[in-house]
A and B are shown apart, each in its own frame.
Chain A
């Protein structure tokens, strides 16, 4: 099989091809190593690990030969550089983690390797996952493989952001340099880049995937999850990532269902909630139209759209921008120049701390740590932090009430398609508004998937399905129906062609 055909496979297709011995795991890994090399202009990877990929693939071939294949045997994956990987540079895209090679492996990546997956490398992200554009990385911005310009040369050809924070993962999967990638979602960091890059991004229920060994941003909001090109691939990958972990006290002690089996294609009689408050002021026509198409597709498949109300949703973003920075300022206190990463020498211990943190944190991280320190400081804790946590309770109650009337919720994923690198850079609040549709599910810990559903001005747009806690199966089932109705087969203008031309 030609190399380019190997990188054009879905994860499920590659799995089946490996089991049928149509090609080897080493061939599959070599094709993807070449693809990772070809997409260098996108800056999607901070660290590539081609030798490791070949080594792991050789072990996979041995297991395949013995008939001992795991669920992801021989599948090449990209890992967001927020997951600790033993002996492999882990940066969180921050200067302050310079040279950090974890002596341990995150639970999620350990599970992936145990299932037979192969590591291609570590993907770029917004620094400490704080951002919606992948422009805050110390290692430079990631470029979206999509451009507005059509093949006839018309249109705006500026480089676009891939979304964020899991921008490198989204770009790598969209450009066919990995069959899947891990992401983390704190305010939309899996789903928004998935929407911007035309791929599938699944944020599981809080507690479904262990946070152990994932560099912490906001602990009550951080959700590891899969990013893939199809819903089926996301189901397969989630099955390998999920599961109880005693090392994460918030990990749910629940069995992991067979998510692939949930993709029955039958959604007859399911009630699909349409939140009336999500019609935000000034919503672009193409977003509204796509949402209406989504409603029609699900109705045609036998589901029943019902209007629901999520009145506290309009306060989700400001609540998030109190809670997430508060938790971040606490989590990031560990970067002190003593135990790992960057140190800038000083006259005293305090001087060393302050200089190290000034040099090590970028502008957005500094902004959020300072906001966090402020809202947690004496005299402001009740007014800001406790207030935001009360609003968070209201948001969770809204969802609980809605799920008495519906089985899942359909919304747009993001308020726009990808924007140009550098746009919105001078207005933090305008940047924060990217997460208006994704943040509520983080605050309530609910599972949600973004599925590519259409194009706007040549760029992909996603639709989002939000489900009940621990009901990823319904989310995936409805997501798969949406996916096949939308029949999104467009490809980005930049696809890695391992033969060398792309």
Chain B
């Protein structure tokens, strides 16, 4: 084993380079009014109760909102998650979605 100056060890870092660069977040919306908002769900932790509350409250505060439910995408967790996630970019583009709300991390 490498020993320098009596019992010293010269060691390297056990981690490795990041495989991803820091990317800028997308520009935020000027207003929520009139926007199309999609919900993504992992089928977990009471999202089915939370989405209606969010929709109701956002609709109360903003005019002309359009919502696209999680059913349009499939579950983002489980046996089909890789397919669901790979299909997301095209679906988001084709559905003219302005913003996405995703859950549930729990």
On whether the two chains bind one another, the answer is no
